Amino acid sequence: MTQTKFHMAHLTASEMRDAVARSPVVLLPLGSFEDQGPHMPMGDYLLADVVAGQIARKAAAAGHEVYVAPVLPFGGADYFGYMPGGIALSQTTLQAVLRDMLESLLRHGITRLIILNGHGGNCTMIHDVTRTIWLRDGIMIPSFYLWRVAAGFLPGVVGAEQAAQSGGHGANPLTSIGMHLLPDLVREDLLPTVHEEKTAWGLNVSDFGTLDLDGAQISVPLEGDATASRGIGRGDPRLCSAKTGAALTEKLVETGLKLVEHVLKHGER
């Protein structure tokens, strides 16, 4: 068959029943709605959804049937409660939501599942939910943390020095990917002109929630307005570009296809 629809929300009920009978792979994109810096749209879940769609299309071109479940836009609460208009879920609520989403699919034999995660605050919760399903049912549901994987590709794209200078929340890789995939939503005119170094609790800030004590990284229960500069962590977003974003997106999509093929080859058990 030639696949023309890739998001489950676009399928009719009849089309969905037929698709499920063929045991497709289903991608579940997750994201967040928080401060991503003064220049970036707050909804990074939009990027997770676009990347998921591109993986599904590339997989279809390779002969695999893959669909994208409706994106979960709200991430687990961590550092961003200070942001006006931001929406986050408690970890216990988010865990219950993801569990219910997965159980709804598993109930009907949809077991070829891949989670495409776009928020660091989701990682532990995802592990807890998928581990419970694995121990109970022997069903393997891998999770692919998009921006961490992209950060791993960054030195190979821009070089180690620029990767170190530009990598971090509010900068690379998310800003470059946003410039590539959603250029109309990125306000390059609002990019900060100066990268600010910050201190908190009498120590230099290392990253969100961590301070430097003579080279030792100390975790502290501070929100991002205390440890970041307008939503920007240690990276400089002025070094980001749509060209970098295109290269990172291509690598993410290639990795997504490899994971789809691995799930199809090895099964869920």
**Per-residue pLDDT, 150:** 98
Residue 194 has pLDDT above 90, yes or no: no
Residue 269 has pLDDT above 80, yes or no: no
Residue 176 has pLDDT above 70, yes or no: yes
Residue 268 has pLDDT above 90, yes or no: no
pTM score? 0.95
**Per-residue pLDDT, 18:** 97
Residue 195 has pLDDT above 80, yes or no: no
Residue 3 has pLDDT above 70, yes or no: yes
Which stretch of 100-114, 164-178, 201-215 has the lowest confidence by average pLDDT? 201-215
**Per-residue pLDDT, 193:** 79
| Secondary structure of the chain as H, E, C letters | CCCCCCEHHHCCHHHHHHHHHCCCEEEEEECCECCCCCCCCCECHHHHHHHHHHHHHHHHHCCCCEEECCCECCCECCCCCCCCCCECECHHHHHHHHHHHHHHHHCCCCCCEEEEECCHHHHHHHHHHHHHHHHHHCCCCCEEEHHHHHHHHHHHHHCHHHHHHHECCCCECHHHHHHHHCHHHCCHHHCCCCCCCCEECCEEEEECCEEEECCEEEECCCCHHHHCECCECCCCHHHCCHHHHHHHHHHHHHHHHHHHHHHHHHCCC
Domains of the chain are 8-149+245-266 (3.40.50.10310), 196-229 (no CATH)
Question: 146 vs 268, which has greater pLDDT?
Answer: 146
Mean pLDDT of 210-233: 92
> Residue 1: which pLDDT band, with cuts at 50, 70 and 90?
confident
Q: What is the pLDDT of residues 98-149, one digit of tens each?
A: 999 999 999 999 999 999 999 999 999 999 999 999 999 999 999 999 999 9
